[in-house]
Amino acid sequence: MKTSLTLVAVLAGIVSANPIVRSSKYKRAGLQGLDFEIINLARNLESLELNYWNQGLKNFTDDDFNQAGYQGFRHYLELFRDQEIAHFTVLNEAAGMGFENCTYTFPVTTPYDLLAVGQVITTVGEGAFIGGIANLTDSPARQTGGTIIGNEARQNSLLRQYLGLDYFNAVNFDTPLTASQAYSLAAPFLNCPSSNPPINFHKIPPLMANFTSGSTPHSPGDEITVMWDSSSVYLGGDVHITFLGDVYSIAQPLTQSGDGMGTTTLPKNINGTSILVATNFEGGGPIPDKQNFAIGYVVVA
């Protein structure tokens, strides 16, 4: 417990205004196998979010946000930080064992970057909890995960509202992610010490995607350029791009136009922030780990 409290204090950077929610419902002794692996991943994701908001508080003042057009946002940033302290504390106590702070690197240099990357991070966090709950057998763990989902969704909606994106009607259902998909989308930001319990999920290579036609909000048929590292990722001729969004998993043709480069188009029924997977999987349900050849995202609306 002493280690957990010390770590939370270090992660917070400054004293939280809100009380820390303590959990006595479940401990490491009660989490085995996949339950522990999912909660350990969740702990890492919450630690990442906590450090993300801490870096925002450290790097940007009220004036910075106000001049960028985000009046009053720093207040919410402090609230986000306090919420993530609570989430991390509960999950860290649940998972137990030694967890040391990782090194976190984010592509953020402006207030806009902070909000834009933040809405993607909260999208991934929310999807990770939705997908993870389906595979948890421990009832208190499922309940705790469910209570965090709503908080992630509120953070995401506020960020999208400040960014001028569709923050209410973007989707009817939020998108579940497999543990491997969520871990892989967060992995570029993480560099954790080897002494930490490993994240034992398949790491999917990154897929970079950008719209090259249309404007936000994007429409079906708008072109998307996708890029991948061809030295480590081979995409055969049977590979397509699957768009994950709402309750939909929609396959779109991939036209490979060069080494590590290709194009696809936005299908109907995809809105908000969509996860893109290069795959040859054509069945229903979640894409099997080893058939996620590369993964990325696009902001549709």
Per residue in 180-205, pLDDT (tens digit) is 999 999 999 999 999 999 999 999 99
Residue 59 lies in a domain: yes
Residue 3 lies in a domain: no
CB 132, CB 95: distance < 8 Å: no
Residue 272 lies in a domain: yes
pLDDT in tens, 203-250: 999 999 999 999 999 999 999 999 999 999 999 999 999 999 988 899
pLDDT beyond 80 at 86: yes
CA 57/CA 266 separation, integer angstroms: 36
| 142 & 270 share domain | no
CA 160/CA 170 separation, integer angstroms: 10
| 187 & 134 share domain | yes
pLDDT in tens, 3-47: 443 454 444 443 344 444 444 554 544 688 999 999 999 999 999
- Give the pLDDT score at 4: 43
Of the residues 163, 191, 219, the one at which a domain ends: 191
| 185 & 212 share domain | no
Residue 264 lies in a domain: yes
Mean pLDDT of the chain: 90
- Give the pLDDT score at 227: 98
- Give the pLDDT score at 30: 67
| 216 & 163 share domain | no
Residue 144 lies in a domain: yes
Of the residues 161, 191, 221, the one at which a domain ends: 191
Of the residues 131, 158, 191, the one at which a domain ends: 191
| 86 & 164 share domain | yes
CB 52, CB 121: distance < 8 Å: yes
Q: Within the chain, where are the H helices?
A: 2-12, 33-59, 62-67, 73-95, 111-133, 139-163, 179-186
Residue 148 lies in a domain: yes
| 160 & 290 share domain | no
Residue 145 lies in a domain: yes
| 187 & 275 share domain | no
CATH of the domain at 241: 2.60.40.10
| 76 & 117 share domain | yes
Residue 116 lies in a domain: yes
Domain count, the chain: 2
| 158 & 56 share domain | yes
CATH of the domain at 35: 1.20.1260.10
| 124 & 248 share domain | no
Could you count the other beta carbons within 10 Å of the beta carbon of residue 157? 17
Provide CB contacts within 8 A for 11, sequence distance 6+. 47, 50, 51, 54, 85, 88, 101
In this prediction, residues 50-54 reach a mean pLDDT of 98
| 93 & 132 share domain | yes
Provide CB contacts within 8 A for 176, sequence distance 6+. 127, 130, 131, 134, 286
Higher pLDDT, 15 or 108: 108
| 185 & 151 share domain | yes
Q: Predicted confidence band at 98 (pLDDT cuts at 50, 70, 90)? A: confident
Domain span at 274:
207-299
